[in-house]
Amino acid sequence: MTGATFLADLPRFVFFTGKGGVGKTSLACATAVRLAADGKRVLLASTDPASNVGQVFGVTIGNTIVPVPDVPGLFALEIDPQLAAEAYRAQAIDPVRDLLPAEEVAAMTEQLSGACTTEIASFSEFTSLLADDSLTAAYDHVLFDTAPTGHTIRLLRLPGEWTAYLSDGKGDVSCLGPVAGLDRLRHDYAGALDALTDPSRTRLVIVTRPQRSSLAEAARTYDELLELGMSDAHLVVNGRLPHDVGPDPLAAALEERERAALPDMAPRLRELPRTTIPLLPVNTVGVPALLALLDAAALAGGEQPAGEATVPRDFIGLRALVDDIEADGPGLVMCMGKGGVGKTTIAAAIALELAQRGHDVLLTTTDPAAHLAETVRADVERLTVSRIDPAEAITEYRERVMAGKGRSLDEAGRAVLAEDLKSPCTDEVAVFQQFSHVVFQSRRKFVVLDTAPTGHTLLLLDATGSYHREITRQMSEGARFTTPLMRLQDPHQTKVVLVTLPETTPVLEAEELQDDLARAGITPYAWVVNASLAAARPGSAFLRARAAAEHDSLARVAELCPRVAVVPLLASEPVGAAALSALTQQPARPRPSASLSDAGV
């Protein structure tokens, strides 16, 4: 634990937050294991809709608190959005099920089946951990492994938004459930807000990688959290390449990239207490690896990963994937996956290549934390770059509703409508409408969509499904219509590209996403394995050990999808049009069974 400044004088609540893929889950799990080893009773709660805490420990963790085997004193919880929503609906509907006509019960069920209900249900469980002492009294520390930045900022804003909304006496059944429950909600949300903004009770651990894009995102995160009143923050720079990795051009370039990025971090980040954690030669899965994350000496003399790093024979390059996408003509390409796997980079590279081939292309994003313009950094002919901005979408939606529905109301009615539109539930509806507009444009041009991290995207798809069910219910029998969901389900109109990393946890998460999409009637078109060391064929023994650890993950991806593109880990960050173009200038197919031994390293 030496040098881990974020663990000093640790308060009761600890939030691990930051850009996706920086190691929040690994660090949260490692901290939980270390505290438990020190004799503390610890509750580790994941608020990420795409949680993988259970995968890190190799056990099943669900929507109820369970002990973690082999770690005495450690308990874990993964807040499952769907289970939370089911329980929330039952709480709202069961008391009146036998008192109302069947059609009214059905209408209530439909009202409580949207993304808003899912978010509120999950959030209510989260706030109860902060506000209800009876739930956490048995624990010395409660650690929160949060969703990637954009979703987490949304989550942490909700206590203030809902506290203000409820304090004004608002709230309707479709969002919050029975009015009788509002007093409890008001109490919990106010208590959560107090806990979040009290530095003696809550600490923020902002996790980042030693890379410019990750550090820039960390600075933006810190600014937004400061606005929320959360001031006790520590910075953890995770995955710093060791200095003694041996002579290797790729290792030298990566080390130089990290060395140049750290001094350029925002001054406000430099002022924070900082912990630097070195990159390990193994994946941080299992208790031994988690212990080593905070004490690298624990791996000293241990066995390094054995075997040969290979790229499966049938994997193609990103250029070949664009060939396949182009052959089908205009449509929607959705790059999906967990935060931090490189969705923005892959989406930008695909869009840029299509535009350079003479096609009209719209590159856009639904990710609150995405910055496409910074990734492309150039004006490219035939390429339009945009962003579905939640704040702008909400403002436009409110103005449109007031101008339409509010036109026929009197002054008192307009005032009621205006207050109702302040509900945080409005956000998902507004973003969904913008998303639907993007889907509509894909009929005549290529639209490449960089989606938000998995959990947030699933909420958007939930809203898409709710809208489809409502339209289907309202249309007369035999009527012809097309909803956004129907376009997403049509492989000729929509190509879903799952982006992952060649590591155990990201592949498991992408597999779960594929299962979730299947339940919505959506089949992925392709997978992209990004930042592969096996494909890069490094010479350093340290990086070769990391590359060898990719073998099982790459083999599993080959089993999950017949069309897989692999992108090697690059010496420089793929930012700017030239660097992005380089991603699609790789050979159409890598050499069959390309291996480290074949490369003579």
Pairing of β 446-450 and β 332-336: parallel
Length of the chain: 601
The active-site residue, picked from 17, 19, 26, 553, is: 26
The active-site residue, picked from 17, 19, 20, 25, is: 25
Phi-psi region of 51 (alpha: psi -120 to 50; beta: other; left: phi over 0): beta
The active-site residue, picked from 23, 114, 337, 339, is: 23
Annotated catalytic residue 19: no
Please report, for residues 40, 111, 437, 485, 486, the alpha-carbon distance to residue 472 in angstroms, rounded to integers and kept in the order given. Answer: 54, 15, 19, 11, 11
The active-site residue, picked from 31, 46, 426, 505, is: 505
Instruction: Tell me how far apart the alpha carbons of residues 444 and 442 are, in angstroms, rounded to a whole number.
Output: 5
Annotated catalytic residue 26: yes
Query: Two tokens at 54?
Result: 């259970």
The active-site residue, picked from 18, 21, 150, 455, is: 21
The active-site residue, picked from 46, 48, 366, 367, is: 48
Cα Dmax for the chain: 79
Output the DSSP codes for 527-541: EEEEEEHHHH----H
Annotated catalytic residue 593: no
Query: Residue 501 is which amino acid?
Result: L
Nearest in space to 28 (alpha carbons), one of 150, 204, 196: 204
Q: How many CB atoms are located within 10 Å of the residue 103 CB?
A: 8
Q: In what order do the strands lie in the sheet with 526-532?
A: 383-385, 361-365, 446-450, 332-336, 494-500, 526-532, 564-568
Annotated catalytic residue 505: yes
Annotated catalytic residue 21: yes
SS (H, E, C) 541-557: HHHHHHHHCCHHHHHHH
Instruction: Tell me how far apart the alpha carbons of residues 207 and 209 are, in angstroms, rounded to a whole number.
Output: 7
Instruction: Tell me how far apart the alpha carbons of residues 575 and 143 are, in angstroms, rounded to a whole number.
Output: 34
The active-site residue, picked from 24, 338, 343, 495, is: 24
Active site (catalytic) residues = 21, 23-26, 48, 505
